[in-house]
Amino acid sequence: KNLDAFKAKASKGAEPNETDKRLAAMLVSRDAYQLAGSLENLTGSKAVSQTVFGIGVLGMALSTIIILMLINGFTVTEMMGAEIGGMKHKIGSILPGITGALGFLFLWGDADAKFWLAVPTSVFGMVLLPIAYITFFLMINNKSLMGTSLPQGNKRIVLNIAMGVALVAATIGAGWSIWSKVQWTGVIAVGIFFALAIIVHFTRSKQD
């Protein structure tokens, strides 16, 4: 009934209201072409928008798996007290690649589901990005950690400004992503995460 009314209104050239727009949004099948089409107004070309979108998804996947492999390798090394560059380090580094491949082949049997995996990945990555930038910001200014490699003079000023701009942009993006998806639930979850991080930090400081 609603669909027939929507079609009748559209045939008369009437401007769709909010209900009509929501109905149309539910009826549209969203796939890679639909999402890439959102860039068409910006690029002015369907071919360019499809290419840019495809390169973006591919770049996100490659950069994500590389970062995960690096992090996991060093984490396993620290947990097991192993040597960096040793066999345990290499096995720890390759694990995310193996699990990612198995998940892609078996856990996501539907082709559409495989594509949509990029959406939660990008949202989750955006939320965690400010945490990574804060960590990098603190690390590059830590003399005991950087030693003789600590940036000096104008180089340090420029590096800190660039990192500060990136941190602000990432924080705004993460905040918008959290609020638009889960609103107060996400804010509470982030608050709990930071509270736990502070508790763990001071607990370890007392133990040391």
The per-residue pLDDT for 1 is 43
Length of the chain: 208
How far is Cα of residue 38 from the mean position of the Cα atoms in its chain? Answer: 19
pLDDT per position in the chain (208 positions), as tens? 455 655 565 565 556 677 766 766 666 666 666 777 777 778 788 888 888 888 887 887 788 788 889 989 998 888 888 888 899 999 999 988 887 777 666 655 565 656 666 666 667 777 788 888 888 898 889 988 888 888 899 999 999 999 999 999 989 988 888 888 778 888 898 889 888 888 877 886 666 6
- CA–CA separation, 182 and 102 (whole Å): 29
The per-residue pLDDT for 25 is 66
> Which residue type occupies 92?
G
Which tokens hold the place of 136? 């990098």
Identify which of 52, 72, 54 has the alpha carbon closest to the alpha carbon of residue 64: 72
